[in-house]
Amino acid sequence: MSERPVRPFVQQDDAFRWSGVELRTYKEEGAAPYRDVTRQTLFSRADMRGELRYFEIAAAGHSTLERHRHAHAVMVLRGRGEVLVGEQVHAVDAFDLVTIPPLTWHQFRAAPDAPLGFLCMVDAERDRPQLPDADALARLRANPVVAAFLAGSYTPR
Ligand code: MN
């Protein structure tokens, strides 16, 4: 839990950058399960069960393909992209809502020429994400729509 003092008002200094909120940049690593993703935690309080974060995926970037017991409630705020939820791929842009149910494979991809920024509400206490093993990946790829998404082929709509 954050022990930072409560600040009743936080200004947006720059587009999608909030004053005094740490910008966490995920770095690409060997397996590179994500690419070009930043996170800002906007609300986190010991007396609330939820946290609200703002994620931004740069153009052509993507989040980790993962699943976990906790759910996500997402509102897109910026740009456009696609999201995989289970076996479904949805094109998303500003103000679309996405719910990721428990134990459902999910991944966000920004469009090739636009970022994808979104609010994500989660339980403050949550389990660690699981990554797909080879069998899970094979099952996902059995669906051609999902296979195309995982291969990074973006379908503009
Ligand atoms: Mn997740």
Q: Is the pLDDT of residue 46 over 70?
A: yes
Q: Catalytic positions, please?
A: 120
pLDDT surpassing 80 at residue 146: yes
Ligand 1 centroid – CA 34 distance (Å) = 12
Q: Find out whether 41 and 7 touch, Cβ atoms under 8 Å.
A: no
- Identify the CA nearest to 58 among candidates 88, 78, 85, 31: 78
CA of 66 to the centre of ligand 1 (A): 6
Tokens of residue 41, six digits:
């935690």
pLDDT of residue 35: 86
Gap between the Cα atoms of 22 and 150, Å rounded? 30
d(CA 30, CA 102): 27
User: pTM above 0.85?
Assistant: yes
Spatial distance between the Cα atoms of 40 and 25, rounded to a whole number of angstroms: 9
